[in-house]
């Protein structure tokens, strides 16, 4: 189907949402409840447990007996409670990554406690509208020390709807930020996939919203997921890549296929560079990633670096492009922000 579709359904028996564009799967959100009660975005009261000397980090006790890890222990006292937000997904047997800067998400705005100021999305370029939204945000904040970010969806929204959401988010932030005494406790659960779809995929407005027990099958989502559970990724021009997660890292190998021209390596590598951010996000892969690109002259590395940089900037995920190793491999590091799709499929198969 042509156009932009939001598809709400279930995958592996879990609530899920998919974003389709012209028949291609662009984004996929799946609930992670069977694997952890604390999904990315959940806000908890935690208690500091032990400091990691020489590393600057601290382990914290979370609700349900889980452990979390905070990289920056500045201002943290041993045995004291503090408010944290789950910042990502942990590997099996490891502590959950945490952040002390809380973020309350809405469709039109974000509330940022301890980060004061009113900011308007750069995608809103009409100065008069920017000024109106900034004034609306300041009025809603009043004397609070919180900060606000007005999202791009606010540009065409009704001011009354924005104000209603701001009021609700600010009151929620006030209430949660006051819960800073006591033992480990879940204070705010992470939004469900359907809630996140409503918040994050509203701009631009979808051409259609599909629901129902057969929505994923009807809209081609199940077929796309089957492809994601395979290691091999076909690339435009006849090349291919193989993406294989291991315990230590994610290995990516690029092949030129039947193309034997002088530029075959560069063409396959550029195709993979443009596709890699989408593949990593949809597969839920992060951490250390090593790419073995197809053979190409060293002089072409600068071109490939530009393509990689542009692709990951557009993707928006927190990614560090480390660069080339002495053996000609390319290293990058991507934040683990989702449960790997293969783990969800395996958990469903063993249930």
**CATH entry 3.90.1570.10 includes domain 43-99:** no
**CATH entry 3.30.230.10 includes domain 104-191:** yes
pLDDT for 56 equals: 72
Residues in the chain: 351
pLDDT for 49 equals: 86
C-alpha span between 257 and 119 (Å, rounded): 48
| Residue 153 near residue 107 (C-beta atoms within 8 A) | yes
Max CA distance (Å), the chain:
67
| HSE-CB of 164 using CA atoms within 13 angstroms | 6
Both tokens assigned to 240: 């291919």
Query: Over the range 276-304, which residues count as b (16 or more CB within 10 Å of their CB) and which as e?
Result: bbbbbbbbbbbeebbbbbbebeeeebeeb
Q: Which of 35, 39, 48 is nearest to 88 (CA)?
A: 39
pLDDT for 54 equals: 64
Q: Where are the domains of the chain?
A: 4-31+195-218, 43-99, 104-191, 231-342
Q: Which of 270, 272, 280, 289 is nearest to 228 (CA)?
A: 280
pLDDT for 52 equals: 77
The CATH number that domain 231-342 falls under is 3.40.630
pLDDT for 77 equals: 78
pLDDT for 36 equals: 62
Distance of CA 70 to the CA centre of its chain: 19
Q: Which of 147, 186, 152 is nearest to 169 (CA)?
A: 147
Distance of CA 277 to the CA centre of its chain: 11
**For the chain (length 351 residues), average pLDDT per consecutive 10?**
93 96 96 74 92 80 92 81 92 87 96 94 95 96 95 95 97 96 94 95 91 95 97 94 95 91 93 97 96 96 96 90 96 93 84 49
Q: Name residues whose C-beta falls within 8 Å of residue 277's C-beta, 6 or more positions apart in sequence.
A: 311, 312, 314, 315, 317, 319
Distances, alpha carbon 263 to alpha carbons 259, 268, 270, in Å: 9, 9, 11
């Amino acid at each position: 189907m042509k156009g932009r579709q939001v598809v709400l359904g279930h995958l592996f028996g879990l609530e899920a949402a998919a974003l389709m564009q012209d028949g291609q799967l662009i984004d996929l959100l799946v609930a992670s409840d069977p694997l952890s009660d604390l999904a990315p975005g959940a806000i908890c009261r935690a208690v500091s447990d032990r400091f990691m000397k020489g590393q600057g980090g601290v382990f914290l006790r979370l609700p349900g007996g889980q452990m979390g890890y905070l990289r920056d222990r500045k201002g943290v006292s041993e045995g004291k409670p503090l408010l944290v937000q789950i910042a990502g997904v942990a590997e099996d047997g490891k502590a959950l990554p945490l952040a002390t800067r809380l973020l309350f998400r809405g469709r039109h705005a974000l509330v940022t406690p301890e980060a004061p100021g009113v900011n308007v999305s750069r995608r809103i370029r009409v100065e008069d509208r920017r000024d109106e939204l900034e004034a609306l945000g300041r009025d809603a904040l009043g004397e609070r020390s919180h900060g606000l970010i007005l999202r791009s969806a606010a540009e065409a929204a009704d001011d009354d709807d924005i104000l209603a959401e701001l009021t609700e988010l600010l009151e929620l932030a006030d209430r949660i930020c006051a819960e800073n005494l006591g033992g480990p406790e879940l204070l705010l659960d992470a939004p469900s996939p359907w809630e996140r779809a409503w918040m994050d995929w509203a701009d631009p407005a979808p051409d259609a919203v599909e629901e129902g027990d057969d929505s994923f099958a009807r809209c081609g989502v199940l077929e796309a997921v089957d492809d994601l559970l395979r290691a091999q990724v076909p690339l435009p021009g006849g090349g291919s890549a193989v993406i294989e997660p291991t315990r230590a890292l994610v290995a990516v190998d690029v092949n030129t296929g039947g193309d034997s021209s002088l530029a075959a390596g560069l063409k396959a590598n550029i195709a993979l560079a443009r596709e890699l951010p989408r593949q990593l996000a949809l597969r839920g892969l992060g951490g250390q990633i090593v790419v073995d690109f197809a053979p190409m002259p060293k002089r072409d590395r600068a071109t490939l670096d530009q393509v990689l940089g542009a692709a990951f900037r557009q993707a928006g995920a927190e990614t560090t492009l480390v660069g080339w190793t002495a053996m000609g491999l390319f290293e990058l590091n991507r934040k683990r922000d989702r449960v790997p799709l293969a783990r969800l499929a395996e958990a469903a198969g063993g249930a």
